[in-house]
Amino acid sequence: MTQDATPADWQKTACILCECNCGIEVLLEGRALTKIRGDKDHPNSQGYSCEKPLRLDRYQNGAHRIDSPLRRRPDGTFEEISWDTALDEIAARLAAVRDEHGGERLFFYGGGGQGNHLGGGYGRALFNGVGGKYMSNALGQEKTSEAYVDKHLYGAHTAGDFENSEVAVFIGKNPWQSHGMARARPTLKELARDPDRAIIVIDPRKSETAAMADHHLQIKPGTDVWCLGALDATLVQENLIASEWLNTHAVGVDEVLQLFRDIDITDYARRCGVPEDDIRAAARRIARAKSVATYEDLGIQQSPNSTVCSYLQKMLWVLTGNFAKPGGMHIHSWIFPLAGPWFPIERDEPVRFSGARRAVGLQSMRHGAAAMRAVFSRLDGHATSGKVAENVARSALHFFFPSVSVAAADPIARLAGNVDRDAGVTPVTGARIMAGLIPANSIADEILTDHPDRFRAMFIESSNPLHSLADSERFRQAMRSLDLTVVIDVALTETARAADYVLPAASQFEKYEASLFTLHFPHNTFQMRHPLMPPMPGTRSEPEIYAALMDRLDLVDPGIIASLTASARVGRSAYSLALFSTIEQKPELAGIVPYLVYRTLGATFAPGDEAQSLVWSFAHLAAIAQPDAVRRAGFTHDGEGQGEKLFEAIRDRREGVIFTEDRYSDAWSYIRHEDKKIHVAIPELMDELRLLDAEEPCYTSEEFPFILSAGERRAFTANVIIRDPEWRRRDKDGALRMSPQDAADLAVDTGDVVRLITETGIATTTVEISDMMQPGHVSLPNGMGVSYPGENGDTVVGVPLNTLTTVTRRDKFFGNPWHKNVPVRIELVDSSVTAEG
């Protein structure tokens, strides 16, 4: 096949190794991905890909794949069991936990890795179905601080228009390796090449991006807050802010300006270790730019003061008026909001409808649709009558859809379960919940206690928290103390090894999948990936697994399933009408809509295509919420026809679809505050900055004299779905990077083995002397330290970082762990010892 491949043999899918999800094309030989290239047709990545996906076959066909449900024996080993046995037992034990302790005691973790998000929607349905209230995932140790700041400033998520920015500012972010934006490397090269544009980087390391930068503010590790504070203060004290713009578009400005007037720039520069002149020069470059976009990432999100840092970095573009214009920052549309609430965008021309029409519409939904559903049920299989019924449904929807669609869609879009996304605290430790996520660092504390409200069961899907959260051993103890733990994954991961049941999932290339990271502006894109091959024998897709469990939990009246299925057989308009009216009459079912559509609409799709039904829901919800932007993307139909056409395009255009086209000024309409202004004052963070004013940063001690940055993104690191060490072409061991000065002081050379000792654990690793590092700062890569089956048993290559981290060093507000700031001691190991030894 590879030799004689024709263009038609290349199959379209996406890379799954970072949130960019670049479009790729693959050639198959049997089940092997033999050749991979960037897909020029992909509307976002346009043919670009980095080197990472070229060996994705190591994920697809590695020895790590499991092909049978597993049940834990009392001695900790696993036995293979049938799918029916596994599903029966898990459903019964879930029901027992719910009945004895309440559904709130079931904790859900995950909802997918990069580009593996459809399963999460179905998982939410199970979670809601059993009355779950608390959940989290990797974002709960990364993005919650930023989400809090976003919520207060304007109520939504922002992204930068870097392709058009005059100045790009990266804080704790190395897009050359960690990407995070479309076509990251070409975009960086264009920025660096153009003398009229500039890159500003705040990073303790001289990363690849920092090396290209016009201004690299090389802070001492952990001191970002003082560098960012000094930049903001320079803008204010040198009167470089967009005063008129702020007066028009922001509230609370005066108190924020006073905060920055009070900062001693010279002293802040000293504390972060950057020459004051360099900070002032960078601030002046930001101020004189026509456009500025900023990007913060794990470098600050997993370092001290992450919430305040997030606030201060956003003030750089707020104070200079860089919002809603080319090259600036924007709030964007969603196919379905991954974080934050679903909400409708004000239309260009508000639809005027009388109260009477809305009332009639609601009555039609409540009563008329019920009668129609009964008719649809009787028409099941009668083609001519079915056509008539579909036309009747279409006419009915045409009449009242504009007046009731938002109200009808709202509970469905919120997957209305118990989760209060915006408020609340955890039941045991009182940790703050943000964007519906409890701090990942609090999970073990919510379990390892005799508190009556502790979690009793945990469902973990497509995630490896035992490996990726701080203090792995404590997380293992927490899992083992629960009444029930279930893991769904393609491999027997570190987390799976601590579970009671492991359910083998189909790979991302064996099922329908999609990424919900639709973060682009002004052209927002979405790609539904089709399976490239059937599931590996013995495995099942997550939607299929969740649906089977929900069947066993008997959560829905079979009559409702039958009636909705009959409506779907009549037509999509009949189905839309029936679904809306069902949720209107039984709002308690809104939280399990993914299951309902899978079992009803999905039943009318070709076998194996059922999971497309959730994407059908996304398409309609996106069109209802953002009809003008969807129309500008070419979907010009009225009413529910718009969502239907969008769904058909998503289904048929395998390279992906631009589903919304925004205008730059539209970013204002995405602001959630009623006054459509940016609310710049966040009192608790301003108070915190005043406290930090008195703090002298120091994160090392005599015992632990170095700072370890745990989780550096490198050319050959990826998330831990890559388990095969042979995937890495270079840096196979994931060496510890160290400055030449530190290496000389410790008398170590590249390739030597050292021992790392933290307050939590010990690990050995090889050394790489690197000019990237400043003295006192060392770094280890992410994605290492996972087990992989070999001929002589499992091998583990590299350091599992969270054997070295602790849950106690964390952000004051949202508990984000300081993985990028781990105090450590380094000792030279006898040269006869290997890194694994």
Token digits for 388?
């008539």
Encoded one letter per residue, x for contact with ligand SF4 by CB under 6 A and - for no contact, window 167-196 reads ------------x-----------------
Stretch that binds ligand SF4, among 15-23, 494-502, 665-673, 686-694 (CB under 6 A): 15-23
Q: Which residue has the tokens 């632990």?
A: 704
**Size of residue set near ligand SF4 by CB under 6 A:** 11
Written as one letter, the residue type at 4 is: D
53 belongs to the binding site for ligand SF4 (CB under 6 A): yes
Residue 136 DSSP SS3: strand
Rounded to a whole number of angstroms, the minimum distance from the CB of residue 25 to ligand SF4 is 12
Token digits for 739?
């400055």
Token digits for 30?
């049997």
Residue 15 or 516: the one with the smaller Cβ distance to ligand SF4 is: 15
| Binds ligand SF4 (CB under 6 A): choice among 42, 52, 55, 819 | 52
Q: Which residue has the tokens 């609340």?
A: 424
Residue 68 or 782: the one with the smaller Cβ distance to ligand SF4 is: 782
| Binds ligand SF4 (CB under 6 A): choice among 11, 13, 44, 49 | 49
**On the CB side of 766, how many CA atoms lie within 13 Å of its CA?**
15
Written as one letter, the residue type at 811 is: D
d(CA 355, CA 42): 44
| Binds ligand SF4 (CB under 6 A): choice among 11, 12, 13, 17 | 17
Sheet architecture: strand order including 167-171: 215-217, 198-202, 167-171, 292-296
Considering only residues 313 to 372 of the shown chain, the ones binding ligand SF4 according to CB under 6 A are: none
Stretch that binds ligand SF4, among 20-28, 69-77, 157-165, 195-203 (CB under 6 A): 20-28
**On the CB side of 237, how many CA atoms lie within 13 Å of its CA?**
17
Stretch that binds ligand SF4, among 47-55, 593-601, 647-655, 815-823 (CB under 6 A): 47-55
Residue 50 or 167: the one with the smaller Cβ distance to ligand SF4 is: 50
Residue 22 or 309: the one with the smaller Cβ distance to ligand SF4 is: 22
Residue 49 or 739: the one with the smaller Cβ distance to ligand SF4 is: 49
Rounded to a whole number of angstroms, the minimum distance from the CB of residue 744 to ligand SF4 is 35
Give CA torsion, residues 227, 230, 232, 235, to 10 deg: -130
Residue 188 or 213: the one with the smaller Cβ distance to ligand SF4 is: 188
Q: What is the DSSP string of 112-125?
A: -STT--HHHHHHHH
CB 519 within 8 A of CB 158: no
Residue 449 or 719: the one with the smaller Cβ distance to ligand SF4 is: 719
Encoded one letter per residue, x for contact with ligand SF4 by CB under 6 A and - for no contact, window 624-643 reads --------------------
Stretch that binds ligand SF4, among 44-52, 231-239, 654-662, 675-683 (CB under 6 A): 44-52
22 belongs to the binding site for ligand SF4 (CB under 6 A): yes
Token digits for 486?
């279930």
**On the CB side of 176, how many CA atoms lie within 13 Å of its CA?**
18
Stretch that binds ligand SF4, among 16-24, 93-101, 627-635, 750-758 (CB under 6 A): 16-24
Rounded to a whole number of angstroms, the minimum distance from the CB of residue 21 to ligand SF4 is 5
Residue 107: is it exposed, middle or buried by C-beta count within 10 angstroms (0-12/13-18/19+)? Answer: buried
Rounded to a whole number of angstroms, the minimum distance from the CB of residue 20 to ligand SF4 is 4
Token digits for 74?
């009392």
Rounded to the nearest 5 degrees, what angle is found at the Cα of 142, between the Cα atoms of 309 and 132? 130
d(CA 83, CA 482): 22
Rounded to a whole number of angstroms, the minimum distance from the CB of residue 37 to ligand SF4 is 11
Rounded to a whole number of angstroms, the minimum distance from the CB of residue 614 to ligand SF4 is 22
Q: Which residue has the tokens 């190991």?
A: 829
Encoded one letter per residue, x for contact with ligand SF4 by CB under 6 A and - for no contact, window 674-693 reads --------------------
d(CA 432, CA 440): 11
d(CA 375, CA 469): 53
Residue 812: is it exposed, middle or buried by C-beta count within 10 angstroms (0-12/13-18/19+)? Answer: middle
**On the CB side of 520, how many CA atoms lie within 13 Å of its CA?**
27
Stretch that binds ligand SF4, among 50-58, 214-222, 726-734, 789-797 (CB under 6 A): 50-58
Nearest to 656 by CA among 532, 528, 521, 530: 528
| Binds ligand SF4 (CB under 6 A): choice among 11, 21, 68, 174 | 21
Rounded to a whole number of angstroms, the minimum distance from the CB of residue 306 to ligand SF4 is 24
722 belongs to the binding site for ligand SF4 (CB under 6 A): no
Rounded to a whole number of angstroms, the minimum distance from the CB of residue 116 to ligand SF4 is 13
d(CA 722, CA 52): 10
Q: What is the CA radius of gyration of the chain?
A: 27
Rounded to a whole number of angstroms, the minimum distance from the CB of residue 509 to ligand SF4 is 14
Stretch that binds ligand SF4, among 17-25, 151-159, 684-692, 756-764 (CB under 6 A): 17-25
Rounded to a whole number of angstroms, the minimum distance from the CB of residue 657 to ligand SF4 is 18
What are the φ and ψ backbone dihedral angles of 108, each rounded to 5 degrees?
-115, 130
Give CA torsion, residues 207, 211, 212, 218, to 10 deg: 80
Rounded to a whole number of angstroms, the minimum distance from the CB of residue 185 to ligand SF4 is 8
Residue 20 or 536: the one with the smaller Cβ distance to ligand SF4 is: 20
| Binds ligand SF4 (CB under 6 A): choice among 15, 91, 250, 256 | 15
Residue 17 or 646: the one with the smaller Cβ distance to ligand SF4 is: 17
Stretch that binds ligand SF4, among 48-56, 153-161, 283-291, 553-561 (CB under 6 A): 48-56
Alpha helices in 605-739 (DSSP H): 612-625, 627-632, 640-652, 683-692
Residue 186 or 558: the one with the smaller Cβ distance to ligand SF4 is: 186
Token digits for 426?
């955890």
Stretch that binds ligand SF4, among 10-18, 163-171, 386-394, 552-560 (CB under 6 A): 10-18
Rounded to a whole number of angstroms, the minimum distance from the CB of residue 22 to ligand SF4 is 3
CB 498 within 8 A of CB 476: yes
Residue 53 or 120: the one with the smaller Cβ distance to ligand SF4 is: 53
Residue 15 or 250: the one with the smaller Cβ distance to ligand SF4 is: 15
Rounded to a whole number of angstroms, the minimum distance from the CB of residue 163 to ligand SF4 is 15
| Interacting residues of 567 by C-beta distance below 8 A, sequence separation 6+ | 372, 373, 376, 377, 574, 575, 577, 578, 579, 600
| Binds ligand SF4 (CB under 6 A): choice among 28, 50, 135, 707 | 50
Residue 38 or 69: the one with the smaller Cβ distance to ligand SF4 is: 38
CB 800 within 8 A of CB 472: yes
Interface with ligand SF4 by CB under 6 A: which residues? 15, 17-18, 20-22, 49-50, 52-53, 179
